[in-house]
Amino acid sequence: MASILSLRKVCKTYGENTKNPTKVLFDVDLEFEESSFNAIIGQSGSGKSTLLNIVGSLDRPTTGDILFKNESLAKLSKNDLAAFRNRSLGFIFQFHYLLPEFTALENVLMPYRISKQPITDEVMNRANELLDIVGLGNFKNKLATNLSGGQQQRVAIARSLINNPAIVLADEPTGNLDSDTTEKVYELLREINQKFKTTFIIITHDRTVAEKTDRVIEIKDGRVYLDISK
Ligand SMILES: Nc1ncnc2c1ncn2[C@@H]1O[C@H](COP(=O)(O)OP(=O)(O)O)[C@@H](O)[C@H]1O
Ligand SMILES: [Mg+2]
């Protein structure tokens, strides 16, 4: 299997030039394979979100580098990083950040509107297909505010896939959902992983969820503590 993403000795210190710098990540080396389905677990405050934000180029490491398909991200300018993010990454967060007064379909298309890319027939078809895949075929024209929590998170999942990203990064995507809905959302993510060969890296505090993934990485005090592949 080919590597899609590598972290090389990634360190992160917040407030580096202040009186109280906080070192959060210590020499994290990780390799992610194409099409793999990975869970990151660890106690609150262990550095999981910091790590995911760095992996997603929303934040830069203090030292160390990230390679995407063997290309260093450290060399990219801010604009090039943003372009890379739009092209290659999808994000799902605990709070879905849908726009309540827009329909499910409009929310899925939002990344295009925001980046002022034209919504071609192909993009429109993809948005419709994604909403079908996440089981919202009959809810496309409903306002987000009128959907249940689980349905809203499904819209957010469809939105994260609109650019056909190579990697989807999710930070506690089911943190707000009940256990039945959580299970369904994970089945859905797994289906998408298999159908589109999308690589998933998912932070979860739910061990039963983590057990269903290909690999579980446990972060403890900013270090990789366990790394178990099945
Ligand atoms: N922007 C920030 N500035 C300073 N400290 C931060 C910042 N973000 C997170 N931290 C600290 O870094 C540590 C790890 O946080 P985080 O990555 O959010 O952990 P987790 O997601 O595992 O709960 C915590 O001690 C947190 O307080
Ligand atoms: Mg977190």
Ligand (nearest to CA of 13): 1
Residues of the chain with pLDDT under 50: none
Tell me, what CATH number does 98's domain have?
A: 3.40.50.300
Range of the domain at 111: 37-58+82-229
pLDDT, one tens digit per residue, over 109-156 is 998 888 888 999 999 999 999 999 999 999 999 999 999 989 999 999
Q: Which atom of ligand 1 is nearest to the CA of 47?
A: 17
Q: Is residue 190 part of a domain?
A: yes
Q: Is residue 161 part of a domain?
A: yes
Q: Is the CB of 149 under 6 A from ligand 1?
A: no
What pTM did the predictor assign? Answer: 0.94
pLDDT of residue 179: 85
Q: Is residue 194 part of a domain?
A: yes
pLDDT of residue 184: 85
Q: Is residue 54 part of a domain?
A: yes
Q: Is residue 46 part of a domain?
A: yes
Q: Is residue 2 part of a domain?
A: no
Q: Is residue 71 part of a domain?
A: no
Q: Which atom of ligand 1 is nearest to the CA of 219?
A: 22
pLDDT of residue 94: 81
Burial class (CB within 10 angstroms; exposed 0-12, middle 13-18, buried 19+) of 16 = exposed
pLDDT of residue 219: 97
Q: Is residue 13 part of a domain?
A: no
Judge contact between 1 and 33, C-beta under 8 A. yes
Question: From ligand 2's centre to the CA of 150, what distance in Å?
Answer: 20
pLDDT of residue 5: 97
Judge contact between 96 and 134, C-beta under 8 A. no
Q: Is the CB of 160 under 6 A from ligand 1?
A: no
Q: How many domains does the chain have?
A: 1
